[in-house]
Structure 1
């Protein structure tokens, strides 16, 4: 009887501790910025942008103080455990080409506020608050706004774009096709039985309050109406290029393009210096037109107010 009680107690403790353990395992590492855009001789100002739950996001706006005319702008979002500084290689060529660039830290990243857990939908929430803030700024053309994201940030730009109709373009770099596929690879690589993996997936879905099928980039791409450039490294050791091909195969129409970069791994952000021309050419095509002014005030809707895309 004593052994039975002890075993039952250990099982109960394990069940009680599992959520806390998983929160710790899946907590995003925080790396704070050490430098600034000044290191690249870029004009900038540091910002705090309000987001949900009364939290604020740290950001840099790279732009002339008083541009001669409203500028097209690109909002840049890092991946899991990243920050705005890691995405600075994108800012220099964009600035030279005449774009304003807003680099933001998602919650729990860089110098942004802490707020529970991180997830792809929360990345998209923060991205939308940055987008709406930027659209209201003087010197920014709200009809020529584009999104650029890396890794989880790439999934977030596709998810947000699937729910907006006021974007000029989206660049998604090194996105995974589906969260379940990503987790299956992680569990397989660590030789963890998929029975346990399935339970972890259900816990993650419950925690983030979203089904993987509803937020998967290979699903959200079907609902994006603006032009999309999917970029992926040919030698990506974390997310294979087949994921980009899967997303591309589910594209809505011919306005989505796929660019596979040779000799480029998952975190090879510096490769932008080699391939910047392709990204700038895409933005040049897509941000040249003028979209209707996006709704503001009572006519605007928030990311969290919109239903998830219908499953297809």
Structure 2
């Protein structure tokens, strides 16, 4: 199959999948589309898809989900929001592009200002009666992963927010333009064969080295846990990519083993940082 044909096939699959997801979302009783701010924190009315765990008693820990530059917030909710909610967490999958009138930011990610959306979503969850505001994590994918990492890195964004994330997870993010001085436990999951975002750059970030040759001191920041899946490419967790595609010269492919392992790693990490294990640890303090 030619690259052009693969791109056409991917676009067709995306449109069909989006239609199915919209229909599915309308029929779901365990989630709803919400507007995150009244009054608005900016000129763009941020929206998201909120799920609450069934049968949960009392305020629950929660997760903010930030999509990639494709703007696939519905697919992120279907793929991860639903699963994480079944583990006992409130989930909020944020749409950063639709409210801004954009369909993608892959060619010019700097044209959007959704780096602040993680905290706008956190502020919404912190006021929600179903959420324990002291136990909220941020999870992002690709460019959304970079937004998550930058949100919990020590600096202006983190310091300016009255609400704080408890932990952070980034799936196959670009690990450039970051110092790695994290304020909370952080997990990065990436494929060794990822040719869109480099596993080696993430190794450098986890080790305290950055692209400018500046290394943070060993006692600075909370350690970053890095997991690299040997045979995995970019978007290894997306079942819609069982047939590999080439997008803007990059290889995207689903990997069942990496997807399963990442789900296990994510569940364990959330449990230890915002879940039952973290709650019990806090009570013992």
Shared fold by TM > 0.5?
Answer: yes
Which residue of structure 1 lines up, in the alignment, with residue 85 of structure 2? 95
SS at match of 1:128: helix
Does the 8 Å contact 2:66/2:140 carry over to 1?
A: yes
Out of 195, 204, 221, the position equivalent to 1:246 is 204
Aligned to 2:123: 132
Matched residue SS, 1:164: helix
Alignment of 1:80-159 (within 5 A): 80-88=69-77, 89-106=79-96, 109=97, 111-114=98-101, 118-119=109-110, 122-159=113-150
- Normalising by structure 1, we get a TM-score of 0.62
1:120–1:156 CA contact under 8 A, matched in 2: no
**Any unmatched runs of 5+ in structure 1?**
1-28, 179-215, 293-312
Tell me: CA distance 1:284–1:81, structure 2 relative to 1, closer, same or farther (3 Å): same
Which of the pair is proportionally richer in helix? 1
Structure showing greater Rg: 1
Q: Is the 8 A contact 1:58 1:112 kept in 2?
A: yes
- The answer for the alignment partner of 2:183 in structure 1 is 225
2:100 is paired with a residue whose SS is: coil
Q: How far apart, in 2, do the equivalents of 1:276 and 1:90 lie?
A: 9
Aligned counterpart in structure 1 of residue 226 of structure 2, from 254, 258, 263: 258
The change in CA–CA distance for 1:228 and 1:176 in structure 2 (over 3 A counts) is same
| 2:144 aligned counterpart, secondary structure | helix
